[in-house]
Amino acid sequence: MHSIPLIVRLPNWVGDVVMTLPSLQALKSAGFDLQLYGQKWIFDLLQSLPAKLFYLPKSIRLARNEISKNLATNTLLFTNSFSSALITYLAKKKAVSYKNTIRNVLLYRSIDKERHLHEVEYFWKIAKLAALTWLPDASWPTSIPKSIHLPLNPISELKVEERLKRDNITDPFIIFCPSATGAAKQGAYKIWPHWRELSEQINQLGMTSIMCPGPLEEAYCKQLLPKTKLVAGLNLSELAAMLKRASLVVSNDSGPMHIATAVGATVLGIFGSTNPIRTAPWGGSYIGELGKWPSSHLVLAQIAKMLNL
């Protein structure tokens, strides 16, 4: 069957991109040739995905020029912004996305947003509309997969094995992901306030814990988790491979949490400032709720349960 090119504007955040993967894989299976546009880091994160990857500049003019180069016209917007709709409209593309009052006139087809959906479900519904619009006879799954699958680069996996040997890190080990970019709604702080206590408790139990912060997060993470071994300098593909190797990944609601879930790691997400109904690790476990962080003792008890300690 001849595949149909589909331009896809990816979200701007790592975790959101990961949560589009079930939709992207369903679109690929339906018969679309995926042309994915997004941030520069998608070349690391999605390098093993069967899709063409393109960097989309921040400038509206440059982004429009970039998308205009693509001969395909059918476009799926996973983004909600007016500017993303304007860019595709100016590039003379037909865009499918969610309704958002002021940009509706720029869209070819749109549907209303539903409240209380998980982001995986949110992306799935708009992807299904794209399939119904341009491949109406193609089969579409009756339900969303219960897990997310991010294919790994074997070279990244080998590099991670070498790094673990070089740093004398042996199994089993826990990975802590204490960072979280930005603030939640109403400016709430997205970082769990009890990381230091948990780190000390884990250290007292004689368990090995490591963290793999980004280049701008190292100093802060060292201060936050002084008892935890720092493994820095990993790109997103290598981070994914490292997360897969862990016995358990404990994380704020963040990109690494969703990556860990997508590579099949055992994950415990910690929630308090964001809503797990919308962004819980898909197929993973979480503790906490919107507006109420769990204590370090509750998190430690859950870790012990998950590791059968």
Residue-wise pLDDT for 127-185, tens only, equals 999 999 999 999 999 999 999 999 999 999 999 999 999 999 999 999 999 986 655 45
Indicate the pLDDT class of residue 2, thresholds 50, 70 and 90. confident
The percent of residues above 90 in pLDDT, for the chain, comes to 86
SS3 of residue 211 by DSSP: strand
- The CATH label, of 2.60.120.260, 3.40.640.10, 3.30.70.120, 3.40.50.2000, for the domain at 154-307 is 3.40.50.2000
Mean per-residue pLDDT, 241-250: 98
Alpha-helical regions (H) of the chain = 14-19, 21-30, 42-45, 60-68, 82-90, 119-134, 154-166, 195-204, 218-224, 236-245, 255-262, 276-279, 296-306
Q: Do the two domains 4-134 and 154-307 of this chain adopt the same fold?
A: yes
275-301, pLDDT tens digit by residue?
Answer: 999 999 999 999 999 999 999 999 999
Q: Return the pLDDT at 186.
A: 47
Q: Return the pLDDT at 187.
A: 44
Q: 236 or 102, which is more confident?
A: 236
- The CATH label, of 3.40.630.30, 3.30.930.10, 3.40.50.2000, 3.40.50.720, for the domain at 4-134 is 3.40.50.2000
Sheet holding 52-55, edge to edge: 52-55, 32-38, 4-9, 74-77, 94-98, 109-111
227 has pLDDT over 90: no
Q: For the chain, give every domain's residue range.
A: 4-134, 154-307
46-77, pLDDT tens digit by residue?
Answer: 999 999 999 999 999 999 999 999 999 999 99
Is pTM beyond 0.75 here?
Answer: yes
200-218, pLDDT tens digit by residue?
Answer: 999 998 999 999 998 888 9
